[in-house]
Structure formats: C-alpha cells, structure tokens
Amino acid sequence: MMIDFEKVNAYLNKVRKFSKGGIVKKDEPIKQTQAERAYNFINPADGFNLFSTLRYSTFPIYSWLGSTIPLRPENDMATPVEEAYWKHYLNLGRNKTLVPDTKSKINWDKENGSNSEYVGVPQPVARRVQALADTLNMGRIVRNYQTYKEKYPELPEEDTMNDMYKFGKELLDSGKAQQAKEHMSIKEVKRNPNYIQDRASGLEILGKFGMKWDKNTNTIKLYDTYDFPSRYTGKYSIPEREKTLRIREDIKFDPKQGSFLLRDNMKNYYTNEDKYYQ
C-alpha cells in the first residue's frame, strides 16, 4: 500500500491552527477527551495498513495537533455500522439499531467474560454470516460462477467463492468452531470513493471471527472481540477500554432452505440496506 503523503500533509495543514489547543469564542481553550480526539482523527474505513500504522500508532502525533482535533467532515465518514461500533467502543454513544443488545454467550464467557460488555450485530451483518453456511445455494453459484457474476457483480472473486464454499462445508460437516475472515462476504458495500479502501465487505466490525454450527437448534454461534492490537493503543492514540467489547450473536439457519441473501434464486440479494451502510 502506497502512503498518500499528500493526504497526510493536507490533514496536518488543516489542523495546524489548532496546534496550541484551539480557540473558541471569548478565547476559551477547547478541550477534548482522548476518546473524542481518537474519534475525530481516525476513520475506521481506512483499515490498518502501512498508512494507518503511521497515522494511528502510539507515535505521539496527537501532541503535534494540540488539545483539539477538528470533527471529521461528512465526506470522511465510514459506513454507519463501522462508525457506530467505533463510537461505542470509545464510549461516545450507542446506536442500538446498529449495535444491538444480545443474549448470546459461548462457554468461554462463563469463566472469562466477567469484565466484558456484550453486544450483537445488525441484520445485514448477520445475513452475511448466515450466507457463509449456505452450501446449498453457494454450491450453485460456484458451479455456475460466470453466469451469477454477470447478474450480481458484488459477488466476490471466484477463488474467494470457492474458499467460502469449502468453509461452509467444513462448518456444517464438522460441527466444530471455525475461524472466518472479514473478506469472506457474499456481498460488498460501496464506501466513499475518496477512501483508501473504497469498498467494504460488510463484515469489517468482525475482522477474524469465530463461527460454530449447532445442528440441534439450527443456530450459528457468532463470536468475536471488537478491539485493536496493542501497537495501535496507548496514551496518544486509541484508548484501551475498561470493559472488553465482545460481539456475540445466535443466527438461525435452515440448511434445507438456505440463507436469506441466497435462497429463492437470490431474490433478496439486493434488499435495501441504506440505514446500515449508506
């Protein structure tokens, strides 16, 4: 990934006037919490690559910008789902439609999850996870890939489709916990074209995540932790959370019928998701 130094310089120029703390009316200094500064500075859509390592690491870039960092403008926002989880992680407010409650737990939580907060996932995320287990309809796509790709261009590349199909087979056949990755999504999401990554999988809040199939209840157990590597957290960057934010969801799935997005000849593939992703 090439570093966009022009973008870096433009951002630094934009905030240079705040380098002494920022001034508001009556010459009163502006003060922000570390969480507010992190939210204003970091766009979760940029991802953690070479560029963001330089931008978000514990390197004290915040000290260059003073005590105030301007709000990110509307054209520098990620999808509503990404923004909602990022904001809730920082304890800056919660949208319960996008970051819903959950009653789901896994066995590990009983002994290890006392200092945790548990949340679920919104509907479009659950539907993408459900599709990973849909070997019935996924198999049809894999066998007739070019025909489906022409009609549904958001489908992933053929190699990825094959990997997803194999993953689903192993998930259902073994009954054991499997680790999925965020790129394993049946449907991409368009982001602002100015972003470093202008397309999203719709599973960015999960990263590498766990799935386990329970055939007795026709339920997919989804589990993950919304956190950041230690190199991205610290006094001058992303604050560490007092309570670990854990994602848990029980997703109902009937293998004989298939997933919501893929069943019935994919009639639901273009279901409106504006409130979640636009």
The per-residue pLDDT for 17 is 45
The residues facing 247 across adjacent strands are 119, 224
First and final C-alpha spacing in the chain: 26
Task: Give the residue among 20, 69, 61 at the shortest CA–CA distance from 40.
Answer: 69
CA 128 to chain CA mean position, Å: 12
Summary mean pLDDT of the chain:
82
pLDDT per residue as tens digits for the range 45-93: 766 554 554 554 444 455 455 556 778 787 778 888 999 999 999 999 9
pLDDT per residue as tens digits for the range 148-181: 999 999 899 999 999 999 999 999 999 999 999 9
Helix-helix angle 135-143:158-174, to 10 degrees: 150
